């Protein structure tokens, strides 16, 4: 069973209020079971999650980051690692200055699972296809250099697939094999996006049909602080 990663080209710049489902449906031939991965940046833009910010004012930027956070985990120079209201731990609360107009910053969507559901509903209405949607963003990691794309919202696909009940090939029950397929799909999609190439959407075609159920990054992926060893 091969999986295909297909970039959706030609979406270009998006504005507040534009309909992402229409933009995608016009440029892609969707099939049942496709997972459509949409980057946070375009989701934030159509949802109007842009706020004025002087890019050359570090204090203003820090104030905005703190406003978007419920907890600061670490600071070093201009880098601040915080926990957002959604429970994501990332640099600068996801406040993003790249690929936005000077004088503006993009915030994370208020509820990225809901954003994914809306796009999914729109795609179903426009194409008739039963697809899943993942909203992705680019996060750093402790201990490992380089960023990777992860899922911040999903709809129609499991975020975490629990293989704990299944047996390994020795017939022994597997332990601790809850796989975050939503993050793996987001990372896979990034391979055909390219950070500077303005391809904000990709299709992941051929994932295990058993993963296609209602899903939620917030409910399945965000680790409760009390269970976390690094907060």
Contact status: 63 vs its own copies (CB under 8 A) = no
Contact status: 226 vs its own copies (CB under 8 A) = no
Span from 19-27, 105-113, 114-122, 206-214 in contact with its own copies (CB under 8 A): 206-214
User: By CB under 8 A, what part of segment 143-172 binds its own copies?
Assistant: 143-150, 159-161, 163, 166-170, 172
Contact status: 62 vs its own copies (CB under 8 A) = no
Tokens of 45: 């833009």
Tokens of 6: 């297909």
For its own copies, the closer CB: 53 or 81:
81
Contact status: 15 vs its own copies (CB under 8 A) = no
d(CA 77, CA 143): 18
Tell me which H or E stretch contains 65. Answer: helix 58-67
- State the minimum distance, in angstroms, from the CB of residue 142 to its own copies: 4
Determine which residue in the list 22, 191, 209, 213 makes contact with its own copies, applying CB under 8 A: 191
Cβ 24 vs Cβ 8: under 8 Å: yes
Exposed/middle/buried for 104, CB within 10 Å: 0-12, 13-18, 19+? middle
DSSP state of 214: -
Distances (CA, A) of 137 to 164, 166, 171: 27, 31, 38
- State the minimum distance, in angstroms, from the CB of residue 91 to its own copies: 8
Contact status: 65 vs its own copies (CB under 8 A) = no
Q: How many degrees, rounded to 5, is the angle at CA 82 between CA 157 and CA 133?
A: 15
Determine which residue in the list 128, 195, 213, 214 makes contact with its own copies, applying CB under 8 A: 195
Contact status: 54 vs its own copies (CB under 8 A) = no
């Amino acid at each position: 069973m091969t999986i295909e990663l297909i970039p959706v080209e030609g979406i270009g710049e998006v504005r507040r209020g534009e309909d992402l489902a229409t933009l995608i449906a016009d440029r892609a031939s969707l099939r049942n079971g496709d997972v459509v991965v949409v980057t946070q940046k375009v989701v934030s833009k159509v949802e109007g999650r842009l706020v004025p910010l002087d890019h050359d004012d570090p204090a203003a930027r820090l104030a905005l980051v703190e406003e978007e956070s419920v907890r600061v985990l670490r600071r070093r120079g201009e880098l601040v690692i915080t926990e957002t209201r959604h429970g994501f731990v990332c640099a600068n609360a996801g406040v993003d200055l790249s690929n936005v107009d000077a004088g503006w910053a993009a915030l994370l969507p208020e509820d990225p699972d809901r954003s994914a559901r809306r796009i999914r509903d729109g795609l179903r209405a426009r194409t008739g296809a039963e697809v899943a949607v993942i909203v992705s963003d680019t996060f750093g990691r402790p201990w490992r250099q380089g960023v990777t794309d992860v899922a911040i919202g999903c709809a129609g696909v499991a975020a975490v697939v629990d293989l704990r009940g299944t047996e390994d090939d020795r017939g022994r029950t597997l332990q601790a094999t809850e796989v975050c397929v939503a993050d793996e799909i987001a990372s896979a999609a990034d391979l055909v996006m390219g950070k500077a190439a303005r391809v904000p959407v990709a299709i992941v075609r051929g994932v295990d049909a058993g993963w296609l159920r209602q899903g939620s990054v917030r409910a399945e992926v965000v680790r409760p602080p009390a269970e976390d060893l690094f907060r």
